[in-house]
């Protein structure tokens, strides 16, 4: 691919994703400067490895995959991520023959609790999630990627996407319920969600 | 398209099913709320949530959570300076390399 062709590809398909990439990076890193570095790094890598991009495929998913890999493999090594759990073993358990052993503990939030939650609390709860859970919720609910696209971005089987997303949402609901409780919003028996 | 708060209002039959059956359906209900099922599977789920309050609540719960995340964590666009910086860097690579 000539440089002119690359430039046209960047203009048409890559640059329009810059704001979405930045939002994703902000939610992952929590810092504006770190997010800027991640997005910049993503575009430089996209230029460098352009031959591995198959034209006509999903440019947005390809860029998100680059950014996610940069974040996981390089960025987090030097970041202040407090703790991370490798959920791959657990994921395998839930999608493998031991799936029946997955004990689901439902967390039910109430309508009025949801209504009283503020943006800051939602952001804080999301930031408190394990990074693997945060990643999958952002890709699904903010960027609205399909399970198949998420599977490619995260390099995990679709069954794992389903089980991880299910668990991530349950964890997020628990955190939101805790925030609501500390703010004094009590659950009632009505308006159950 | 589903409306997060509209499903239960349309429900006519109180749920009589056991919780174990509902528990087994949770992931499938999530896939329904995420729009990841084909039409035939969607129809089966629609029949289910019209008959089962617990399953209906589960779908509403997922939709509610999705809405909250989307509303509060939506696009936080990059500063114009970052757009310019990246374009300049890429432009620099383009002029350097053959």
Check residue B77 and give its pLDDT.
81
Give CA–CA dist A70/A51, Å, rounded. 18
In this prediction, residues B8-19 reach a mean pLDDT of 49
DSSP class of residue A110? B
Q: How far is CA A143 from CA A52, A60, A82, A110, A193, in A?
A: 23, 10, 25, 26, 24
Does the distance separating the beta carbons of A126 and B69 come in below 8 Å? yes
Whether chain B has a CB inside 8 Å of the CB on A112: the answer is no
R_g of chain A, CA atoms, integer Å: 19
Joined tokens for residue B18: 């056991």
Give contacts of B68 with chain A, Cβ < 8 Å.
114, 117, 122, 176
Give CA–CA dist A175/A164, Å, rounded. 16
In this prediction, residues B32-42 reach a mean pLDDT of 94
Please tell me which residue of chain A has the smallest CA distance to B81.
A36
Does the distance separating the beta carbons of A119 and B78 come in below 8 Å? no
- The ipTM assigned to this model is 0.78
Residue B77: strand, helix, or coil = coil
Helices (H), chain B: 7-10, 19-33, 39-51, 53-72, 80-96
Check residue A31 and give its pLDDT.
86
Whether chain B has a CB inside 8 Å of the CB on A163: the answer is yes
Paired with B56 in beta bridges are none
Residue A21: which of B86, B9, B78, B36 has the closest Cα?
Answer: B78
Give contacts of B15 with chain A, Cβ < 8 Å.
none
Averages of pLDDT over each 10 residues, chain A, 193 residues: 89 95 91 92 94 89 95 71 48 40 51 62 88 95 95 95 94 86 59 42
Smallest CA–CA distance, residue B72 to chain A, in Å, is 5
Which of A15, A21, A43, A113 is the best substitution to test chain B (most B C-beta atoms within 10 A)? A43
Smallest CA–CA distance, residue A136 to chain B, in Å, is 12
In this prediction, residues B19-43 reach a mean pLDDT of 87
Check residue B2 and give its pLDDT.
47
Smallest CA–CA distance, residue A159 to chain B, in Å, is 10
Q: How many CB atoms lie within 10 A of CB B16?
A: 8
CB-count burial class (<10 Å; 0-12, 13-18, 19+) for B43: exposed
Check residue A87 and give its pLDDT.
46
Does the distance separating the beta carbons of B90 and A162 come in below 8 Å? no
Whether chain B has a CB inside 8 Å of the CB on A137: the answer is yes
Give contacts of B91 with chain A, Cβ < 8 Å.
7
Q: At what angle do helices B53-72 and A158-182 cross, to 10 degrees?
A: 80
Whether chain A has a CB inside 8 Å of the CB on B27: the answer is yes
What are the pLDDT digits (tens) for B38-89?
A: 999 999 999 988 988 888 988 998 998 999 898 888 777 888 999 999 999 9
């Amino acid at each position: 691919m000539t440089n002119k062709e690359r430039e046209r590809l960047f203009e048409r398909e890559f640059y329009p994703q810059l704001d979405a990439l930045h939002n994703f990076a902000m939610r992952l890193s929590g810092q504006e400067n770190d997010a800027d570095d991640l997005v910049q790094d993503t575009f430089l890598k996209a230029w460098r490895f352009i031959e591995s991009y198959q034209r006509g495929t999903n440019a947005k998913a390809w860029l998100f995959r680059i950014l996610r890999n940069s974040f996981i493999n390089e960025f987090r090594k030097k970041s202040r991520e407090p703790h991370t759990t490798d959920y791959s073993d657990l994921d395998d358990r839930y999608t493998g023959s031991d799936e029946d052993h997955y004990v689901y503990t439902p967390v039910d939030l109430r309508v009025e609790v949801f209504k009283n939650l503020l943006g800051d609390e939602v952001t804080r709860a999301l930031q408190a999630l394990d990074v693997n859970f945060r990643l999958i919720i952002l890709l699904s609910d903010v960027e609205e990627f399909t399970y198949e696209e998420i599977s490619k971005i995260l390099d995990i089987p679709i069954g794992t996407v389903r089980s991880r997303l299910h668990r991530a949402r349950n964890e997020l609901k628990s955190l939101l319920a805790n925030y609501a409780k500390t703010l004094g919003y009590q659950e009632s028996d009505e308006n159950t969600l | 398209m589903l409306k997060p708060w509209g499903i239960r209002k349309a429900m006519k039959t109180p749920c009589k099913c056991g919780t174990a059956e509902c528990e087994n359906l949770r992931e499938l209900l999530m896939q329904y709320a995420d729009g990841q099922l084909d039409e035939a599977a969607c129809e089966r789920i629609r029949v289910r949530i019209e008959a089962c309050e617990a399953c209906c609540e589960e779908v509403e719960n997922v939709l509610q959570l999705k809405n909250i995340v989307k509303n509060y964590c939506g696009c936080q666009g990059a500063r114009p300076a970052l757009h310019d910086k990246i374009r300049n860097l890429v432009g620099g690579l383009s002029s350097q390399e053959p």
